[in-house]
Amino acid sequence: MATCPAGHDSATDDYCDVCGAPMPAVGSAAAPRSSGSESGTAPASAVVEETCAACGAVRVGRFCEECGHDSLNPVVAPTPVAPSPAEVPVSWHVTVEADRAYFDRVVAAGGPDAGAMVFPEFCPPRRFELSGRQVSIGRRSRSRGIFPGIDLLGPPEDPGVSHNHALLVASGEGWSVVDLDSTNGTTVNEGDDPLRPNRPYPLEPGDRVHVGAWTTITLHRSGGRADAAG
């Protein structure tokens, strides 16, 4: 059994298994044991105190008694984690415009009033913000008490839009459109078949809702993580 410089009997010959001090090379003289070694305690002058590189506590020997760090292993600083991009509040809006391509499809379908319809010469795009749980689509009528959130009264007035034509309904994280059994129906994107009345149809950003003779309502989304990162 070897004896470390502090006078401890150690079963290992590289580092003292009592205090962790390096053991003397083979063939070198062992440190004399003091009178205190009989009881297993090292002389105070032989104990070297250092600071633990990991936690800063006073360390005697190889291993820190506070955190267990091995003084022979380097302390690796943790890699900083980049903060995630801030979440931008999501908002929704629609744009309303006179759609010539949709109008041509309506005329080609040959409805009862197709020959009398004329595409408007000037119809500037309009924007409507979406809020709450539902937003109505139609034409205002004071006498009937109808004031839709997306009012398509004009000018110019689309003759094919009912006063209570459709609803945009908040659905999960997006919106759905519901036709309210309108006279001329509601279609989505390039579909020619009208939506079934009173049934919600889920929409994606960029989807186009067609009502009346030429009116197209396009759904837009802004905000969220994608916008914050871009």
Structure confidence at residue 192 (pLDDT): 86
- β-pairing, 150-151 vs 134-138, is parallel
Task: Give the DSSP per-residue string, the chain.
Answer: -EE-TTS-EES-SSB-TTT-PBPPPTTSPPPPPPGGGGGT---GGGPPEEE-TTT--EEESSB-TTT--BTTSPPPPPPPPPPPPPPPPPEEEEEEEE-HHHHHHHHHHT-TTGGG----S----EEEEE-SSEEEEE--BTTTTB--SEE---SSP-TT--SEEEEEEEETTEEEEEE-S-SS-EEETT--SPPPTT--EEE-TT-EEEETTTEEEEEEEE-SHHHHH-
Structure confidence at residue 31 (pLDDT): 47
CATH of 91-227, one of 3.40.640.10, 2.60.200.20, 3.40.50.970, 3.40.1400.10: 2.60.200.20
Structure confidence at residue 74 (pLDDT): 78
Structure confidence at residue 82 (pLDDT): 66
Mean pLDDT of the chain: 83
Q: What is the arithmetic mean of pLDDT over 37-62?
A: 67
Structure confidence at residue 6 (pLDDT): 73
Amino acid letter, 17: D
Q: Is the pLDDT of residue 205 over 80?
A: yes
- pLDDT-based confidence at 44, cuts 50/70/90? very low
- pLDDT-based confidence at 37, cuts 50/70/90? very low
Q: Give the tens place of pLDDT for each residue, 157-204.
A: 998 999 999 999 998 889 999 999 999 999 999 888 999 999 999 999
Structure confidence at residue 141 (pLDDT): 92
- pLDDT-based confidence at 5, cuts 50/70/90? confident
Q: Give the tens place of pLDDT for each residue, 47-59.
A: 567 888 878 888 7
Give 113 or 35, the one with higher predicted confidence.
Answer: 113
Q: What is the arithmetic mean of pLDDT over 113-132?
A: 88
Hey, what's the torsion of the CAs at 121, 123, 124, 129, to 10 degrees?
A: -170
Cross-sheet strand order for the sheet of 186-188: 126-130, 91-98, 215-222, 208-211, 186-188
When mean pLDDT is compared across 21-30, 59-68, 99-108, the lowest value belongs to 21-30
Structure confidence at residue 38 (pLDDT): 47
